[in-house]
Every structure is written in C-alpha cells, then in structure tokens.
Amino acid sequence: MSGINQDQKEEIYEFLALDYDVEAGNDDMVYGNYIEWPFLNKLEIEDLKGIATILNITFDEEIDKEELEKLIEEEGYEEGTEYENGNPDFLEKVKYWPSFSEEEEEYEMYINDSSESEDVISTIRKIKKEIINKKQNELTEKALILSAFVYTEDYIKTLIGKEISTTDIDNIDDLLKSMLKNYIGQNLRTTRGRSELYKEIFDEKLPKIPNVELRNILAHDMKTPIIYFGNIIYDRDGESKEIDIETIFKELEEFIEEISDKED
C-alpha cells in the first residue's frame, strides 16, 4: 500500500479490526509479521464507505459498490497478504522488528508517568463538564468524548509502566535492553499488546473499557454518531445504539477505579 500513508493504513487496520501473524521459516527463524488485508469485494458497503472516508475519497451515499471498490483501489489499497520482511511501508505499529526510536519513546513516556487514578478521574470529570455545562457544537462534543477514552487508555499504559519501572534492567546488555524497551513500547500502543502485558504483569485479564466500540467509531468516523438531547446515537453491528453521555463518563470512572488497585 505504497500510496497510503502510515496514519491512514493504521486507521484502516483498526477500523476493520484486523490482526497480524508471524512469518517464520522451517528453522523457526522469524522474518517479521504479516497482515491479511481483506479483498474489497468481500466487504460490506458500509466497510467500504469507512475505508473511503479514511482515504478522503469523496463519494455519493448511493454509490455503486463496485465503483467504490475501484476508487479505493486507485488510492493505493492492496488486497491480500502484506509481509513486513523487506517492506519499508509495512504498518509500523505491528512490526515484529519495529523502528527503535518510536517504540522506545513510548516506553520512556509511560515508564516515567506518575499519574494516579485520581488525576485521570479529575481530568475526565472536567471533560464531562465541558460537554454538560457548556454549549458546544456537536463535533467538539464528540471530540471531547473521544479524549475521555484516550485518557482512560493512557491510564492503563501508566499502570503497566509503573509496574515495569520497578524492574532493574540497567545491568542488561545494551542491545537486549533496547529490544526489551521496543517490545514493551510496541505492545503499549495496541489493544491486544496492552492486554497481553497486563495479563503477564498482574496475572489477571484486563477488563474491557466500557463502550469501546463507540471509541473506535469516534476515532475513525467522528461524523457518523449523532448527539441528541444528551444522548449519543451510533451504529453497532448494523443496529442503532443509544447511550446517555453522562453514563459514558460514569462507566469510564468506574473502570478506572476498578483497576486502580494495581497502583498499590
């Protein structure tokens, strides 16, 4: 997908809820990861519209499915298996051999973060007040809701980082230390990676962030959900779902409190 930038590729990857796997030889030597990008003719029209929106393709809502597939292909979407090995355009966030600088930056950011649950809850409450007590336009309100989800995800990263920071790695060989930092940094950046680190570190499953499907929709297609009399309405698996905005914030606070015992 040389015609699609990293940000767009990552958005499509998250929007379609794709996964990756490891490419290894007969001798178990790892060459890198690979992604199976779905064939456009196998996707639903709503998925195609989502991809087109990410790629900034202008289209009529009544567009023919085959025509939309063609427009997406023309923008550089490539179907089938994409390998990391020898591919500089492979999706950075799921590389087996990631670029060190970005991953180490992620590691350092959260290994040194001193935020407490009270700090995060206080921030989320301030965001809620911006929506409830002030008259904002709808796009701003949706952006604020998304930011509350982002702060919640960051708190998970902080919990993991704090626990890892108690481990002394100064005596490890520099190359191994760099590889370890990159491995942790890479996993902090993905939902699956955070879940795996949390399970490994705390020996229990990471609870699911409430209404996370709304978070994903807001991140990839913010215009679609509708705010109506204090509720936000969005499509979930082909069905309309409506939730009170104050409930969203209340459940995020409860989630943070639920996992805050890991601060001890």
Residue 28: band (very low, low, confident or very high) from pLDDT cuts 50, 70, 90: confident
The parent domain of residue 19 ranges over 6-97
Same domain? For 91 and 168 the reply is no
Same domain? For 81 and 116 the reply is no
Structural tokens at position 135 = 């008259």
Same domain? For 109 and 239 the reply is yes
Q: Which residue has the higher pLDDT, 183 or 242?
A: 242
Question: Using CA atoms, how far apart are residues 154 and 218, in angstroms rounded to an integer?
Answer: 17
Give the chain's mean pLDDT.
88
Q: Is residue 147 part of a domain?
A: yes
Same domain? For 40 and 106 the reply is no
Q: Is residue 25 part of a domain?
A: yes
Tell me which residue of 33, 20, 39 sits closest to 191, measured CA to CA.
20
Residue 111: band (very low, low, confident or very high) from pLDDT cuts 50, 70, 90: confident
Same domain? For 157 and 252 the reply is yes
Same domain? For 80 and 184 the reply is no
Same domain? For 170 and 75 the reply is no
Q: Which residue has the higher pLDDT, 4 or 98?
A: 4
Q: Domain count for the chain, please give it.
A: 2
Pairing of strands 80-83, 226-228: unpaired
Same domain? For 57 and 186 the reply is no
pLDDT for position 184 = 84
Same domain? For 86 and 105 the reply is no
Using one digit for the tens of pLDDT, what is the confidence trace for 142-152? Answer: 999 999 999 99
Q: Is residue 37 part of a domain?
A: yes
pLDDT for position 175 = 63
Question: How large is the average pLDDT for residues 15-34?
Answer: 89
Question: Using CA atoms, how far apart are residues 50 and 224, in angstroms rounded to an integer?
Answer: 10
The count of other CB atoms within 10 Å of the CB of residue 261 is 10
pLDDT for position 103 = 65
Same domain? For 81 and 157 the reply is no
Same domain? For 159 and 52 the reply is no
* pTM more than 0.75: no
* Domain boundary pick from 79, 97, 115: 97
pLDDT for position 86 = 84
* Domain boundary pick from 97, 116, 144: 97
Lowest mean pLDDT, pick from 166-170, 189-193, 243-247: 166-170
Using one digit for the tens of pLDDT, what is the confidence trace for 213-234? Answer: 999 899 888 888 999 888 999 9
Q: Which residue has the higher pLDDT, 59 or 115?
A: 59
Using one digit for the tens of pLDDT, what is the confidence trace for 154-183? Answer: 999 999 988 888 777 666 766 677 777 778
Question: Using N-to-C axis directions, what is the helix angle for 212-220 and 138-165, rounded to 10°?
Answer: 120
* Domain boundary pick from 56, 72, 97: 97
Residues 6+ apart with CB under 8 A from 107: 161, 181, 182, 184, 185, 188
Q: Is residue 1 part of a domain?
A: no
Sheet with 231-236: strands ordered across: 226-228, 231-236, 239-244
Same domain? For 88 and 118 the reply is no
Structural tokens at position 218 = 């807001």
pLDDT for position 40 = 95
